[in-house]
Amino acid sequence: MEPRRMLLQRIKQYDFSLKELNLYLDTHPNCRRALAMFAKYKKLRENAIAEYNEKFGPLTPEQNNDLEHWDWVDDPWPWERS
Amino acid sequence: MNLDMFSNIDGLVLRDSSAPFADRAETMETGTMGAMPANPSLAMAYVPYQQWGDTMEPEKALSCGTLFSDLAFPFEKGGSR
């Protein structure tokens, strides 16, 4: 799998873990372990997204950080993808 | 979880404690509160609260569909249990 897809896969995995912890924390708001794990994966996810932005561009429009060019439109559009 | 939304349903017997966790807000390591709510009503069915168990790595969690090994019930031919 090419690096871009592997990175995307990692981001999905973190998203999923965070969603699971979110559901658990809804009913266990004081569980320290869940809160610690949530913080851990949140950080990992932020790093992975930052890496993705740097290498492959924004995942979502607001991740555009180029003041001279709106690079959101540079990505291959879904129908243009190989 | 406030229960006000149930306040206008007559005949529904409500426990007085505002939130099931409030009175047992143990901030212990696992925040465990046992499988049953604080003061369960009679003649009502309860699903046991999940306790903090071991968790899978994100990669495995995504394919298993859950982060918690306790909740992983793979559908196996002939049944796993």
pLDDT one-digit tens code per residue, B9-42:
454 444 444 444 444 444 444 445 688 888 889 9
* CA separation for the pair B62, B56 (Å, rounded): 9
Which residues in B lie closer than 8 A to residue A14 (C-beta atoms)?
58
Which of A20, A32, A43 should we substitute to test contact with B (largest number of B Cβ atoms within 10 Å)?
A: A20
Q: Provide the chain A residues 17-76 that lie in CB contact (below 8 A) with chain B.
A: 17, 20-21, 24, 27-34, 37, 41
pLDDT one-digit tens code per residue, B40-78:
899 999 999 999 999 999 999 999 999 999 999 888 877
Q: Which residues of A58-78 are buried (b: 16+ CB within 10 A; e: fewer)?
A: bbeeeebeeeeeeeeeeeeee
pLDDT along chain A (82 residues), means of 10: 92 97 94 96 97 91 90 82 70
ipTM rounded to 2 decimals:
0.79
B58–A33: do the CB atoms touch at under 8 Å? no
